[in-house]
Amino acid sequence: MSISIGIHDLSFATTEFVLPHTALAAYNGTEIGKYHVGIGQESMSVPAADEDIVTMGAAAAAPIIARHGTDRIRTVVFATESSIDQAKSAGVYVHSLLGLPSASRVVELKQACYGATAALQFAIGLVRRDPAQQVLVVASDVSKYELDSPGEATQGAAAVAMLVGVGPALMRIEDPSGLFTADVMDFWRPNYREAALVDGQESINAYLQAVEGAWKDYAEQDGRSVDEFAAFCYHQPFTKMAYKAHRHLLNYCGYDTGKDDIARALGQTTAYNSVIGNSYTASLYLGLASLLDQADDLTGRSIGFLSYGSGSVAEFFAGTVVANYREHLRTEENREAITRRRPVDYAGYRALHERSFPADGGDHPTPSQTTGPFRLAALSGHKRIYETR
């Protein structure tokens, strides 16, 4: 008999500041409907000077550690595409800030926005090998595009932490997975650039191609049929992309694509992403958090997941919601993570966007702007210095 492995706990964190899309539209003269309706975005999370993927990742994971302790966690897998170091895993800093045991392995995974799903699958493999252990998966990203570029309105930042183990309290992850990879230059960030490069139309096309390819492989592995799923979670570079993707999947499978059907399948997965913006690796699992926090009882129901990462890699898989999952949700804390953000005006956002550390190895303290449990205090001697409050 196969053991049940999946997501035992899920928590997320986002930034100190938020920029409403009304402020962006007022600055650049865009009709607000292009943001609110066209891409389905209302606001974007903006990192303070003293926060980054590490502080967000640690803040997301801290409530999981507080609830479950550290005794069974022997692995931390950190997924990101906005890495702060070419050698050292951002997860090592998180491991230190959380006080995790030294008898741990810590690694960072990268493949654009798909990385967190790779981390989840790696975690399941480790737990299957040793069911006594749990794996902490952290997905944390800051989405950054050039100022005044088409991608600017889709920016955002967040981290999701998941505890993976046997007898999960939230969701059992099922076999099989449908997989797809294609060498596409739709979105990329060379080492010498802080902001990503994106070919918008190519990225949409590549995403839809990946949806089709991943589903085709899933179906060939004898996966579930479309009508067996209560809802679908998609990677959301902007929330309307999830709608495009689901419509494409339904068309491919020969199903009806009525607005009501699509809204029923996706509507409750977009609430957090629409106000946070694109969080890259964390985006898909913010969609899951949004669904679990809002839906009527999903006990025993299957959820479809389409994870996409530009370049491109995609995976389609299913999860089944387990009994009594609502007792373990963090709905109030999740909403607080969003409502606690302080609005920043356009000038303040622009200053934060343009801010970067000098590369001279000197002492560069950061202004104290955050109120969260962890902060990036300084860069000194090319070393990042973190503090716990």
CA distance 184 to 195: 19
CA distances to 164, 165, 232, 301 from 292, in Å: 17, 19, 12, 11
Determine the straight-line distance between the first and last CA of the chain, rounded to whole angstroms.
Answer: 46
**Catalytic residue flag (residue 8):** no
Q: In this model, does residue 91 exceed pLDDT 70?
A: yes
Residue 360: other Cβ atoms inside 10 A: 9
Read off the pLDDT of residues 118-168 as tens digits, 9 standing for 90 and up. 999 999 999 999 999 999 999 999 999 999 999 999 999 999 999 999 999
Strands 374-380 and 383-388: antiparallel
Q: In this model, does residue 283 exceed pLDDT 70?
A: yes
Read off the pLDDT of residues 220-234 as tens digits, 9 standing for 90 and up. 999 999 999 999 999
Instruction: Choose the catalytic residue: 16, 51, 81, 315.
Output: 81
**Catalytic residue flag (residue 81):** yes
- In this prediction, residue 328 has a pLDDT band, given cuts at 50, 70 and 90, of very high
Q: In degrees, to the nearest 5, what angle opens at C-alpha 127 toward C-alphas 124 and 129?
A: 110
**Catalytic residue flag (residue 113):** yes
Which fold does the domain 5-388 belong to in CATH? Peroxisomal Thiolase; Chain A, domain 1 (3.40.47)
Q: Which residue has the tokens 């607000």?
A: 32
The domain ranges of the chain are: 5-388
Beta-strand ranges (E) seen in 168-272 are 171-173, 178-181, 187-188, 197-198, 229-234
Task: For residues 329-339, give the mean pLDDT.
Answer: 98
pLDDT for position 329? 98
Cα–Cα nearest to 23, from 12, 32, 15: 32
pLDDT for position 1? 58
Instruction: Choose the catalytic residue: 8, 113, 246, 248.
Output: 113
Residue 361, sorted as left (phi over 0), alpha (psi -120 to 50) or beta, turns out to be: left
Adjacency order of strands within the sheet including 363-365? 363-365, 374-380, 383-388
Instruction: Choose the catalytic residue: 235, 246, 248, 353.
Output: 235
